[in-house]
Amino acid sequence: MIFDLIKNRRSVFPVQYNDRPISKETIERILEAANWAPNHKKTEPWRFKVLMNGHKEALGKFLSEKYQQVDPKPKQVKIKKLQENPTKAAALIAICMQRDPNESLPEWEELAATAMAVQNMWLCCTELGIGSYWSSPGLIKYMDEFFDLNKGEKCLGFFYMGYFDDPVNAGARGAIGDKVQWLE
């Protein structure tokens, strides 16, 4: 049931992943789910760059080196995490958004559509027993130095994916009644 799937979706971090690979066919299925996200004026602004094998290591190296360049007091633990997290993922997807060149709608609508595409991916991963996590480090503003981005395209973060062994903690939310005002 979709409601249960929504309630069970969780962030599962790279440190929790095991070594089991994710097939290209499974990744394609997850991306196809993303492609069905709602979007205004049919701009389909989501763009994805799938990093596997040596490309994950290259991203980790880039992120750790860029962090050391831009932070006046880099922390060793963060350097290590930036370098190792991409390699711990079975697959890593750069989440990008292509701005409508005509700017026929507000940018926030294209950001929202891209976020809905990622939510579709996340729910699909949950259904397939794949852990996933959307990371948006401050370093994404430098991703045009790593990826060949099109004009108007920007990186919004990374979607880490991997199978995991240990159960994920149950989620908790405050009561919806505290967040809703009925105007009757």
Give the CATH number of the domain where residue 99 resides.
3.40.109.10
93-101 mean pLDDT: 97
By residue range, what is the domain housing residue 47? 16-51+90-163
Q: What confidence category does residue 169 fall into, taking pLDDT thresholds of 50, 70 and 90?
A: confident
For all residues of the chain together, what is the average pLDDT?
95
Contact present, 13 and 133 (Cβ < 8 Å): yes
Structure tokens at 84: 């190792």
Q: What predicted TM-score, i.e. pTM, was given to this entire model?
A: 0.94
Beta bridge partners of 155: 96
Contact present, 74 and 3 (Cβ < 8 Å): no
Q: Is residue 170 part of a domain?
A: no
Q: Is residue 37 part of a domain?
A: yes
16-39 mean pLDDT: 97
Q: Is residue 34 part of a domain?
A: yes
The whole-angstrom separation of Cα 50 and Cα 159 is 9
Closest Cα to residue 84, out of 162, 166, 20, 14? Answer: 14
The whole-angstrom separation of Cα 110 and Cα 39 is 7
Q: What confidence category does residue 104 fall into, taking pLDDT thresholds of 50, 70 and 90?
A: very high
What's the pLDDT score for residue 85?
A: 96
Q: Is residue 128 part of a domain?
A: yes
Q: Is residue 68 part of a domain?
A: no
Q: How many domains does the chain have?
A: 1
Q: Is residue 67 part of a domain?
A: no
Q: Is the pLDDT of residue 170 over 90?
A: no
Contact present, 41 and 105 (Cβ < 8 Å): yes
pLDDT in tens, 106-159: 999 999 999 999 999 999 999 999 999 999 999 999 999 999 999 999 999 999
The whole-angstrom separation of Cα 22 and Cα 92 is 11
The whole-angstrom separation of Cα 90 and Cα 19 is 7
The whole-angstrom separation of Cα 58 and Cα 72 is 23
Structure tokens at 138: 């401050």
